[in-house]
Amino acid sequence: MAKLRRIFQGLIVGLLVWGLNTAPLAASAGQPAAPQEGTGGVQETRGIPDSYELLGENDLFQLYADPNTLGFKVLDKRSGYTWHSSLDEVTPEDRLNKTWTAFAVSGISVEYLDAKAVSKRVSITNSTTSIDFQTLDQGFSAAVEFTEYGISVTVIVQLEPNGVSVQVPFEAIVQASPEYKLGKLYVYPFFAATLEDQVPGYMFLPDGSGSLVRFAETTKAKNMFYGRYYGQDLGMIVALPYDDMTRRAYTISLPVFGMVHGEMQNAFLSIVEKGAAYGELQAHPAGITTRFNFLYSAFVYNESYFQATNRAGAGVTTLQPNTNAFDVLIHYRFLTGEQADYVGMAKSYQQYLVGRGDLAKVADPESDIGIKLEFLAGDKQKVLFWQRFIPMTTIAQVSSILEDLAVGNPEVVYYGWQPLGASSMPPSRLKIERTLGSMSQLRALIDEVKAGGGNFYLYLDPQAAIRDEQGYSPRNDLAMSITNFNLVGYHRNKVNYYLNYETLSQRYASLHDDVAAELQAGLALDQIGSMLYSDFKSNHVLNREEAIHQYQELLRGNAGGTAFYLPNDYMFAQMQAYYDMPLGNSGYIYTTEAVPFLQIVLAGYVPYYGPALNFSSNLQDDLLKHVDYGVYPSYFLTNEVTAKILETRSNWIYSSSIGQWSQEVEQTYQWLNSLLGPVKGQEITARQVLAEGVFATTYGNGKLIIVNYTNKPFSHHGVVVNGRDAVISEVLP
Amino acid sequence: MMNKILRILFVLAVLLSTTVSVSADSPYTTWALGPGGHPVMTQDAYTPVAEIDLPIEGAEDMFIAPDGSMYIADTGNAQIVKLINFHVVATYGEGILKGPTGVFVDAEGSLYIADGKSDTIVILDRDGNLVRQFGRPTEPLFGVNNEFLPRKIAVDVRQNLYIVSEGSVNGIVQMNTNGNFIGYFGANPASMSLKMILQRMFLTKAQLEKMIRNQAASPSNIDIDNQSLVYTITGGTDRYKSISKFTVSGLNIFPGTYGSTSFRDIHVSDDGLVLAVDADGLVFEYDSNGMLLFVFGSGDKSSQRLGTLSSPSAIARHNEFVYILDKDKNAIVVYQTTAFAQEVHAGVRLYMQGYYSEARPYFEEVLNFNGSYILSYQAIADAYFKAGDYDRALASYRYAEDQSGYSQAYWELRNLVLQRSLAPAILWLLGLWVAGSIFTRLEKRHKWFDPARQWLHGLSRFKLLDDLAFLFRFIKQPVDSFYYIKKSYRGSLLFAGLIYAWVVVVRLLSLYLTGFVFNPYASLSRIRPENEIVNVLLLILLWNAANYLVSTISDGEGRVRDVVIGSAYSLFPYVLFALPIALVSNVLTLNEAFLYSFSLNIIYFWMGLMLVIMVKEIHNYSFSETIRNILLTVFTMGLFLLTGYILYVLFNQMFDFLSAVLQEAGLRG
């Protein structure tokens, strides 16, 4: 019973502490910058040590660097806040062992691989190195040689108008010893690291729509968050593990991360401009391995892989024959005051993309929001020995459905238009399944859609070579993994291999030209926006970084507009619409909240549409999320009853008939349009938490959308929001 | 301690903020029963809301009282913890318990605890005072050698204790609150497979001893519903038999439904919804009749995503939330019922109580969500059937692939037709018969058809037509007919080939044309015609080859030609009658199943008989020689198959070896 009493005592004290803490807790949960005079904000306690020299200065920043560790410090002259690239000294309380200490105080660390493919991590301070340090205009360049292993790396750090850039050129990488290869390169891993919850703030991870991990004393995580930018490389791993009971976590589509030191006080955003295809985001919340919160990019130059030599699975682990060739360029952008939160990071990233010409405002009707309607044209079913095409929505039916539906600016995607439908290979010259209608009918439909303010796209998955289908040569047309297998993927209930770039580009270019010339329609591209693989087939080896440039080159001249499903950032320049916009994150238990980072980046530039609402299990919740994040609705439709495709590969579409959904489609559209219509084409400028489960988003034209996820009505400056409802109003004082 | 509580409070704050807006995608997909018992993906039925860390250690059981308070068997800390809103409000049994593994709380608040470490049952009152503690029953009826290893416990309204004793082959141990043994309850039947029978035949006694004894698997967890029906789960058995639902008399009334081989816990809610969780983190939900509603969930393969489980030990439902205790995470994972699942549940509750027509609107709504949700068709069909709308019931049963329901609805419809048109039909038939017999008589007198007969007779000049006519001779004079074949008087290889081809065609057609009620394929698209063709052809080929080979070494007189032609003609019953039977099956219901199966059996028997006669006549054997020959033929066919398989394996190995050598050579330069 004594224990019981202790628990009670603890409980009471705990409640008290909790009660005291709730106010600041709520504030840090996203309340606007109510300047906290008492606490004084995050102050700089560490000075700049003598070993650091001032190497650059511009209007906003001063750059200092230490030639021995290559650590640098940036003083933000606006706030007086200093950013540290690494720890200056490690105290016993920090509880870091020797390796970790070296990792924390060195600017860069490398992981080398020996001939047996065993890897080990070494840093500047725990290895014999020779550093050739040279000052540059606004920065420095340092050639670091890890003499024991014959590995040299050159790091260039320079001040920029918005912050600092770090470069690692590939041509300056030397691997002199035949015994050791450069495995991974860690670039400023302890940049802006914080100890437990000493500094209020959070890490930002680009998972799904965006995730925050608030600094805390400990974490629920058992291992770190390690994620390759743009997902795993199928060229190295052949296939992703397949389990149809699980839903895959999102791959990282934006090579960015950030940290906030004191909300509305100081923040930075890191953008990987070059090398992201071989980059990996590694985030360590305090409590696993160390007491520090830190996150950084690591870059993969050589990997070991398992080469099976027989079908039973025996084999050898070897190193890849050629080092991945790519340059590294990272920008750290510093934010202060009002901008120092994830919204500010998103805006900063948006400016970066706009500045590079990768993001441009898509011309779109001003008034009503769009709605993506994806129509399944049909699929094939095996009857006795023949394939029979089952038409689900003919061209004429699409036209009459659109006529009947009371929606504006429809974004029409036609899926399975090719001969024999969705699960056969699309042709390389434009040819539609005969049963669906004629080419002139299709042209007429496209004109109708355009006249109604909408867009028309043919669905295309240009990378996929569907398994067991005719239409490609398995010997010549497929990409190969490093182990000499065809790459295997699973998409839309089909198993597919991936085409090599040569075949892909030829097929795509010829089909695209036909579609542009004959239909003046666009293409809705699946997979290619998010799937990035290297190809090891001997006559056309292609690495991931090259593949990005090739894809960009291929799609640059697109006429008629291109929409992408879940694209990575390198496709943004070609993107007229974003499909399957995540409404949340992957739900890692150590992340504290999901935020609409991706949406804020795109808002005002490119319209984005959510996943098809047919498959939603809580429609109202999902609609609220649409309003909250400014996401336009999307539906998957067929004219015929869904039961007809039960025995085809399209049976993953388990509910689609227009008879069942037309009412829902109209209601959804009208409700969302009444809320999101007035802010169409506007940027998101701020986002606040008004109360638990009540969020307010401010748009560029001064409108404010308040979403109430709770069941209780909420009132804010005289504006009442009913439970599980949303309102739009003028911006409040 | 302080830290822990702070952490709980922090987690609670997080929980409160997350219950209102779920922002993460669930890490698992959700499946429901689709056509043909195949799983189909569907909308999420439950979405994960929170994972709440608790100050517990390796907890094995959880009980949620109707007021929402949770009791957790905190096995590692040897106590029972009571939580309200995830706050620890009380602990029980300190100093008494050694390692509680099962806990049950009755309406008065008394705690019934199975302590797996001291192997006793502990009963505490609502304030935690020890009421009684007892171990192994002393009654001889319990069994002299039986151990008492209590792990889980459930108590019915009459205060009977149902105790899961580890390894108990006799089933659940039933006791009263005084510790007296009442009896065993609901044992699983011991299973006996062909492999086991063979082992018994061939292994020595010593070898048998070494193998696991053939015993009934013992149940591993238990729950009891408000009608005192006991639900148990059994691990390590057939996944279709892993859940049992026992009446008071110990009769299992749970049908064999798709489940898991590694179930950990089961929970039955007051409205009859059954939840079970398995070791891989999969959650199965059933209605009380054993119909699978949903399967969802995913193991935590170090993905650390909300909603994954690493070692679930208990599951319970309270209101719209499902709670799963994870003994590895020392946490409870909370799931919330989605709008979609609520719709399904509303329909299922009414349906289970027999309110078919009231349930129909809910299920129609469910079909809007998911057109493949077979349970909906079933429920809607039942509603139509009850309302007497047999036409629609028929269509819905067809979708639901419910052959017996379809048969019933069809019977009703057929009955209507029969009632309306039986009398006129009989009159018509009678009239036709009279007209026919008059015509036949007249024809006999006037011989109107003679020119036609002569023309027909003349056709026998064509060899194939003659062969066809010969087929019908077998009905009346099989022995003579085989003799004709042997003497090369009649029959031809070409026509034999045609018969075989026709057999293949008949096999395929009868699969496609057999009525829905009797068709082994509830959906015709699941027929694999190429497999059927290969199987039939392979059988024919093997028979002919084996029979000829066997006969040549055992003084058979038949030539290859004779065997091939004779076998072909032996198949005539199938050739002639299988198709008509398939067609007739379309107007039969399960009530007349005997007619259908009997006529099919006659065909097969007849064919067998023809083959026997064929072998006897063609090879000129005595009866005993014939039987021996046929047995040898069958044996040879088996040997052919075995040889084929061995060759396949060998070539496979060789291919593997060569490709490995080539790969290795390429790799090492």
- What confidence score (pLDDT) does residue A209 get? 93
Binned at pLDDT 50, 70 and 90, residue A37 comes out as very low
Looking at chain A from residue 467 to 496, which residues have their Cβ under 8 Å from any Cβ of chain B? 484
- What confidence score (pLDDT) does residue B30 get? 92
For the ranges A257-261, A538-542, B439-443, B495-499, the lowest mean pLDDT is seen at: A538-542
Binned at pLDDT 50, 70 and 90, residue B190 comes out as low
Residue of chain B nearest A629, judged by CA positions? B23
- Select from A374, A368, A393 the least CA-distant residue to A669: A368
Cβ(B217)–Cβ(B170) under 8 Å? no
Whole-angstrom distance, CA of residue A186 vs CA of residue A191: 11
Q: Which distant-in-sequence residues (6+ apart) come within 8 Å of B496 by Cβ? A: B564, B565, B567, B568, B569
The widest CA-to-CA distance across chain B, in whole angstroms, is: 116
Positive or negative, the CA dihedral B178, B179, B183, B185 is positive
Residue of chain B nearest A614, judged by CA positions? B369
Question: Chain A closest CA to B450's CA: distance in Å?
Answer: 44
CB contact A584 to B (< 8 Å): yes
Binned at pLDDT 50, 70 and 90, residue A11 comes out as very low
To the nearest whole percent, how much of chain A has pLDDT over 90?
Answer: 65
Residue of chain B nearest A585, judged by CA positions? B24
- What confidence score (pLDDT) does residue B228 get? 87
- What confidence score (pLDDT) does residue B423 get? 87
Q: Which residue has the higher pLDDT, B197 or A162?
A: A162
- What confidence score (pLDDT) does residue B480 get? 84
Cβ(A652)–Cβ(A490) under 8 Å? no
Q: Which residue has the higher pLDDT, B183 or A40?
A: B183
Question: Chain A closest CA to B51's CA: distance in Å?
Answer: 8
pLDDT in tens, B571-594: 989 988 999 999 999 888 888 889
Question: Chain A closest CA to B34's CA: distance in Å?
Answer: 9
Tokens describing residue A532: 């990035």
- What confidence score (pLDDT) does residue B669 get? 58
CB contact A247 to B (< 8 Å): yes
**Cross-chain Cβ contact A4/B48 below 8 Å:** no
- Select from A508, A521, A434, A525 the least CA-distant residue to A472: A508
Binned at pLDDT 50, 70 and 90, residue B357 comes out as confident
- Select from A208, A238, A240, A200 the least CA-distant residue to A225: A208
Question: Chain B closest CA to A310's CA: distance in Å?
Answer: 5
Query: A11 to chain B: which residues are within 8 Å by CB?
Result: 5, 87-88
**Cross-chain Cβ contact B29/A244 below 8 Å:** yes
SS3 annotation, A533-573: CCECCHHHCECHHHHHHHHHHHHHCCCCCEEEECCCHHHHH
To the nearest whole percent, how much of chain A has pLDDT over 70?
Answer: 93
- What confidence score (pLDDT) does residue B5 get? 47
Query: B665 to chain A: which residues are within 8 Å by CB?
Result: none
**Cross-chain Cβ contact B664/A309 below 8 Å:** yes
Whole-angstrom distance, CA of residue A279 vs CA of residue A545: 10
Cβ-based burial of B383 (10 A; exposed 0-12, middle 13-18, buried ≥19):
buried
For the ranges A259-273, B189-203, B599-613, the lowest mean pLDDT is seen at: B189-203
**Cross-chain Cβ contact A582/B25 below 8 Å:** yes
Residue B1 has pLDDT above 50, yes or no: no
CB contact A453 to B (< 8 Å): no
Whole-angstrom distance, CA of residue A649 vs CA of residue A619: 26
Alpha carbons within 13 A on the beta-carbon side of A29: 20
Query: B92 to chain A: which residues are within 8 Å by CB?
Result: none
Query: B304 to chain A: which residues are within 8 Å by CB?
Result: 220-223, 588-590
pLDDT in tens, B543-582: 999 999 999 888 888 888 889 999 999 998 998 899 999 9
- What confidence score (pLDDT) does residue B346 get? 92
For the ranges A244-258, A454-468, A642-656, the lowest mean pLDDT is seen at: A642-656
To the nearest whole percent, how much of chain B has pLDDT over 90?
Answer: 40
- What confidence score (pLDDT) does residue A240 get? 85
Cβ(A209)–Cβ(A598) under 8 Å? yes
Tokens describing residue A579: 């499909």
Cβ(B250)–Cβ(B173) under 8 Å? no
Residue of chain A nearest B330, judged by CA positions? A220
**Cross-chain Cβ contact A587/B305 below 8 Å:** yes
Using DSSP, state whether B371 is helix, strand or coil: coil
pLDDT in tens, B2-47: 454 444 444 444 444 443 344 667 899 999 988 777 888 899 999 9
**Cross-chain Cβ contact A18/B305 below 8 Å:** no
Whole-angstrom distance, CA of residue A276 vs CA of residue A326: 9
Residue A38 has pLDDT above 50, yes or no: no
Whole-angstrom distance, CA of residue B591 vs CA of residue A299: 72
pLDDT in tens, A112-121: 999 888 999 9
Whole-angstrom distance, CA of residue B657 vs CA of residue B475: 56
Whole-angstrom distance, CA of residue B381 vs CA of residue A130: 81
- Tell me, rounded to whole angstroms, the distance of Cα B428 from its chain centroid: 47
- What confidence score (pLDDT) does residue A21 get? 39
Q: What are phi and psi of A155, to 5 degrees?
A: -115, 130
- What confidence score (pLDDT) does residue A18 get? 42
pLDDT in tens, B152-180: 999 998 899 999 988 888 888 999 999 89
Question: Chain B closest CA to A224's CA: distance in Å?
Answer: 10
- What confidence score (pLDDT) does residue B309 get? 92
Binned at pLDDT 50, 70 and 90, residue B209 comes out as low
- DSSP string covering A273-339: EESGGGEEEEEE-TTSSSSEEEEEEEEES--EEEEE-STTS-EEEEE-SS-----EEEEEEEEEGGG
Whole-angstrom distance, CA of residue A480 vs CA of residue A541: 9
Residue of chain B nearest A309, judged by CA positions? B660
Q: Which residue has the higher pLDDT, A125 or B14?
A: A125
The average pLDDT across A43-59 equals: 79
Binned at pLDDT 50, 70 and 90, residue A128 comes out as confident
Mean pLDDT over the full length of chain A: 88
Whole-angstrom distance, CA of residue B569 vs CA of residue B563: 10
How high is the ipTM of this complex? 0.86
**Cross-chain Cβ contact B23/A4 below 8 Å:** no
Which residue of A15, A22, A585 is in closest CB contact with B24?
A: A585
Residue of chain A nearest B396, judged by CA positions? A643
Looking at chain A from residue 707 to 726, which residues have their Cβ under 8 Å from any Cβ of chain B? 709-711
Binned at pLDDT 50, 70 and 90, residue B367 comes out as confident
Question: Chain A closest CA to B529's CA: distance in Å?
Answer: 6
pLDDT in tens, A160-218: 999 999 999 999 999 998 889 999 999 999 999 999 888 999 999 999 999 999 998 88
pLDDT in tens, B390-406: 988 888 888 888 888 89
The widest CA-to-CA distance across chain A, in whole angstroms, is: 85
Cβ(A646)–Cβ(B354) under 8 Å? no
Residue A254 has pLDDT above 50, yes or no: yes
Question: Chain B closest CA to A642's CA: distance in Å?
Answer: 6
